[in-house]
Structure 1
């Protein structure tokens, strides 16, 4: 196996470990996927350091928050000790909306700025790209009427996810990257600059 193939294999394993260890509540190993100094996570409901993300994820897990991930195709661009990895994914969240139990499935990509740290690949910044989502009631006989004003507050890529999370008490960030548009083009530009040696992985804030 060539060095580039080895790197891509290790990056794929890094992304898979993120999903499996987070969803299983294996917090000690989950911490190991992040860069220990610069790790940063952006999500609809959270933006901050990897350390803080682990803490709030653990708290939510312990209180029954159900957010699960499933991974699909993967690719990685590697330049020396830096990489940008993209992985198809779904985010699955179950919660009550106005007393009705629902599932939201959001399809997109994890866009990861990675760096080699002490010989191992770590995630420096994770920025999901939200492509489309849907909401289903768990009980087919149940009826749920959505507030169109609240639904319209969020971009089409995570409209229903944002709706559910707002109803669940989260503060949901608007303006995150979707399949097309200026925001995702800026993210791609930040990725290219990261591979070219920029001092920081874009502006995750």
Structure 2
């Protein structure tokens, strides 16, 4: 098999392995990242191992999430790759009887070490989102929702109300933050 095809398959397995988070398979989730890997998403920024610990706490809360993952687009340079993947985050807080959907793109930097590809850095770009009402319409605090960019206002609201606050602004489609993220990754890939 062509080496690049094998590399692409390994990276695709990493991306679709996000299912482990939804299933609570924490050990397999940890295996997706290098030990020095980092992640920056709405509710967490830092070392990936700490993210898994936080995800365990989230899994024990009223907030549930599910990720629908698309097919990744991979750009290689030697033992490095940039991976961009469409995803849909579906969230629901049973206590609040409120849910939300966020369409995002995971923007990953992957690296092959000792012949094995793993993720080095994951960031997210939020494209658009909305609230869902599983048991009928409930009131939301519009002032809280308005604190977040529209693209992830519903997700930010659910996270905050569930005890997982969003502490800064994240990249949205076409934003300066998205451009800076991609420029940084392109520099890393070329180095």
TM bin (shorter chain):
over 0.9
Deviation at 1:144, TM superposition (A): 2.1
1:167 aligns with 2:161: yes
The 1-side partners of 2:5 and 2:140 are apart by 47
1:13 aligns with 2:17: no
2:98 is matched with which residue? 102
The 1-side partners of 2:71 and 2:146 are apart by 30
Among 116, 119, 143, which residue is 1:120 paired with?
116
1:76 is matched with which residue? 74
| Structure 1 residue matching 2:51: 3-state secondary structure | helix
Once the two structures are superposed, residues 130-156 of structure 1 have per-residue CA deviations (whole angstroms, 9 ceiling, x without a partner) of 11011011113xx32332322211112
Count of residue pairs the alignment pairs up:
191
Deviation at 1:128, TM superposition (A): 1.1
> Any unmatched runs of 5+ in structure 2?
none
Q: TM-score, normalised by structure 1?
A: 0.87
| Structure 2 residue matching 1:180: 3-state secondary structure | coil
The 1-side partners of 2:167 and 2:156 are apart by 8
Deviation at 1:64, TM superposition (A): 4.9
Once superposed, what is the RMSD of the aligned Cα atoms? 1.5
> Any unmatched runs of 5+ in structure 1?
198-205
Among 83, 88, 92, which residue is 2:86 paired with?
88
The 1-side partners of 2:139 and 2:11 are apart by 42
| Structure 2 residue matching 1:178: 3-state secondary structure | coil
The 1-side partners of 2:169 and 2:96 are apart by 28
The 2-side partners of 1:72 and 1:22 are apart by 16
The runs of 4+ residues in structure 1 deviating greater than 6 Å are: none
